[in-house]
Amino acid sequence: MPNLVETVAPAIGALLPELEALYKDLHQHPELSMQEFRTAALVAERMEKLGYEVSREVGVTGVVAVLRNGEGPVVMLRADMDALPMAEATGLPYASTVTAKDEEGVQVGVAHSCGHDLHVTWLIGVAQLMAAHRDAWSGTLLAVFQPGEEVGRGARSMMDDGMIERFPKPDVILGQHVMVGPAGTVGYRSGAILSAGDSLKVKLFGRGSHGSQPQTSIDPVIMAASTTLRLQTIVSREISPRESAVLTVGSLQAGTKENIIPDDATLKLNMRTFDDDVREYMLGAIRRICCAECTASNAPREPEFTTLSSYPLTVNDDATTARLRKAFEAWFGERAYETQPAAASEDFSVFGREWGVPYAFWFVGGTEPEVYARALAAKKLNEIPSNHSPKFAPVLDPTLRTGLETMLCAAAVWLGRESEAA
Q: What is the pLDDT along the chain (422 residues), one digit of tens a residue?
A: 458 889 998 999 999 999 999 999 999 999 999 999 999 999 999 999 999 999 999 999 999 999 999 999 999 999 999 999 999 999 999 999 999 999 889 999 999 999 999 999 999 999 999 999 999 999 999 999 999 999 999 999 999 999 999 999 999 999 999 999 999 999 999 999 999 999 999 999 999 999 999 999 999 999 999 999 999 999 999 999 999 999 999 999 999 999 999 999 999 999 999 999 999 999 999 999 999 999 999 999 999 999 999 999 999 999 999 999 999 999 999 999 999 999 999 999 999 999 999 999 999 999 999 999 999 999 999 999 999 999 999 999 999 999 999 999 999 999 997 665 44
Q: How far apart are CA 396 and CA 144, in angstroms?
A: 23
Q: Where are the domains of the chain?
A: 4-193+313-421, 196-311
Strands, E, within 20-138: which ranges? 53-58, 62-69, 74-80, 99-101, 107-109
User: Is-contact 138 67, C-beta < 8 A?
Assistant: no
Angle in degrees, CA 11, 14, 18, rounded to 5 = 120
For residue 398, cis peptide bond before it (omega within 30 degrees of 0) = yes
Q: What is the phi-psi region of residue 226: left when phi exceeds 0, alpha when psi lies from -120 to 50, beta otherwise? A: alpha
CATH number of 196-311: 3.30.70.360
The pLDDT score that the predictor gives to residue 419 is 62
Contact of 211 with 260, CB cutoff 8 Å: yes
Q: Which residues contact 238 (CB under 8 A, 6 or more apart)?
A: 281, 285
* 228 φ, ψ (degrees, to nearest 5): -60, -45
On the 0-12 / 13-18 / 19+ scale of CB atoms within 10 A, 351 is: buried
Span 4-193+313-421 CATH architecture: 3-Layer(aba) Sandwich (3.40)
Confirm whether 4-193+313-421 and 196-311 share one CATH topology.
no
Model pLDDT, residue 422: 44
For residue 247, give the amino acid letter: L
Q: What is the pTM of this model?
A: 0.94
pLDDT at 286: 98
Q: Could you tell me how many helices (H) and strands (E) the chain has, helices first?
A: 12, 18
